[in-house]
Structures are given as C-alpha cells and as structure tokens.
Amino acid sequence: MTLQKTNSQNPHQHTSWSVQVSLTGLSFLSIPQLGQAIHAQENFPVPTTAEGLTQALKQFWLPHYNASGQNLTTKVFHQSPYATVVPLALFDANKGMDYLKLNTRLLKTDVVAFDILEAQELVVVYIPFTNVNNLVFDTVGPFEFEHSATGILRHLLTTRKSIKNTEVFANIYRDSFDLIVIESGRLILYNNYAYHAPEDFLYYLLFGLEQLNLNPEEVNLYLSGEVSKADALFQSAYTYVRHVSLYTDHQLKNIAQVEHHQALVLKTSL
C-alpha cells in the first residue's frame, strides 16, 4: 500500500473523504482544513470477492477514517463494468435491469442503482457493491455513493462543454479503462474495456475511433489515471494517435505527490 502525506500542524481536521472501490483494488483521498492530504491506493494480487472488498476497507481505509475525526463527509465511488449510460429522456426507473441485461450477467439478488446527471440529461445505471454500502453506512453513518463513471462524466461534460472539437479521453485503471468521447459538451461514447496488455488497450482504443469515424491523425486523446508518459500504454497510443497527452484540469485540486492526471474520479468529489 502506498500512503502519501504532506505536513500539517493539525492532522485531525479532515473535511471529507473520497473512496473508490473495485474488485481489483481500492483507493481513497482526504482533503483537510489545514493542509494535510492523505492519498492511498491498494491493488489486490488477484480480483477479490465482495466480501474480500469489505475486509480490505476495514483493513486499509477505516483506520485512517477513525483517526481523522467524526461527522466527516464521505463519498464512495463504485468502479465496476456493471454499468451503462442511458439518455434521461428514455430512462424508466422501473426498468433498471433491462438496461443492464444485454452487457452484464445479472443475478436475482442484484440491486440496481442509478445516478441522474440532470444538467447533462444522462443517467448512469449500475449494480453497486451492496455490502460495501452497508459497511460504510454502519461505520460512518449517512454518506453518498455513485458509480465512478458518474464522477468523471459530470466533470468532463461540465468543463469541456465550450470546446467544439471532438475529444477522446481514456481514464485508465490497472486492468480496465473508461473510453469517453465528447463533442461540444455532448457525450458521444462511454464504455469500459478490460485489458491485460498494451495491445488490448490499443485495440479497443483504435476500434472505438474507427467506429466513430474519428481520424487518429486529427483527434485529441487525453489519458488519465494509472498511466505515465514512460509506460507502454502511453507509448502504444502515441505510436498510432498523433495528438496524445496526459489530462490536466486546474479546476481539480492539486494534491501534493499525486500527479495531476491521477486519481481523477476521487478528485471530482472534493
């Protein structure tokens, strides 16, 4: 586990926690009143179960939360491929399973949740980690939760709406990435792809561009998350897409020792 801190005269005055959970790892970020930030990320050697994820939260996050004080705002992001985006005009809250059944293996016990992005006229429909929500509620009391796609889509569709050109964003996790295409503040594509090698990442990226008739020589591609200019994902994209850069937006909080393009979902809530 990587734990990062900056110095502060009072380490116990945090104003909020942002926590992101998936079956392959978890991360969290806290911004205090007096300058001490805590950011940590824990990747699991192999994907865990829902029960294993709650144990990881107890082991890696709750000790930091308990040490930081009480009555703090907490937001949990559920990062999973069990999600889809639906236009608000076509959304029916009683048909949550129907939106997911074509691309997700569903169980009778699954609970469907949805996040409404009213300003963008979109709805993110997904299956949350119910046991994670139960643990957090029992431990810290009332809190907010969303799908990770909700946070990043809200941010990008708000901050990039004045840009007329088509832009492509790849928010990268350890074994999957969100591919997002935006034009003039309008969502053209959102999808999540699993990858095991840079070749997989490149295949899905170029396939997405091809399906939307986007020219790799002209489109701007922004990478965020678990990526750097030196690694194979960036280099493979740069080989086939002319304009590639790491995503930066100065409206997001600048966290010491956390690269500006990293922890994008966590930063959107703070």
25-45 pLDDT tens trace: 999 998 776 656 788 999 999
β-strand 25-32 against 38-43: which pairing, if any? antiparallel
In this predicted structure, the answer to whether residue 14 has a pLDDT above a threshold of 80 is no
In a domain, residue 99? The reply is yes
- Report the share of the chain in percent with pLDDT over 70: 92
* Mean pLDDT confidence for 133-162: 94
66 and 52 together in one domain: yes
- Report the share of the chain in percent with pLDDT over 90: 73
In a domain, residue 247? The reply is yes
105 and 73 together in one domain: no
Domain that holds residue 124: 83-137+145-150
pLDDT at 168: 98
User: Quick one: which H or E segment has residue 210?
Assistant: helix 198-211
- Please tell me the pTM assigned to this model: 0.91
**End-to-end CA gap in the chain:** 22
User: Residues with Cβ < 8 Å from 201, sequence gap 6 or more?
Assistant: 170, 172, 177, 193, 195, 233, 236, 237
In this predicted structure, the answer to whether residue 244 has a pLDDT above a threshold of 90 is yes
20 and 66 together in one domain: yes
Domain count along the chain:
3
| Per-residue 3-state assignment (H helix, E strand, C coil) for 160-192 | CCCCCCEEEEEEECCCEEEEEEEECCEEEEEEE
In a domain, residue 155? The reply is no
The better pLDDT of the pair 251, 126 is held by 126
**Cα 155 to Cα 140: distance, rounded to the nearest angstrom:** 26
Angle subtended by helix axes 198-211 and 232-240, to nearest 10? 40
The better pLDDT of the pair 253, 231 is held by 231
pLDDT band at 153 (very low <50, low <70, confident <90, very high): very high
69-112 pLDDT tens trace: 666 789 999 999 899 999 999 999 999 999 998 877 777 778 99
Report residue 144 as tokens.
Answer: 């907010």
193 and 256 together in one domain: yes
Q: Domain end: 27, 62, 78, which one?
A: 78
In a domain, residue 157? The reply is no
The answer to whether residues 87 and 122 touch, using CB atoms and an 8 Å cutoff, is: yes
171 and 239 together in one domain: yes
In a domain, residue 177? The reply is yes
221 and 177 together in one domain: yes
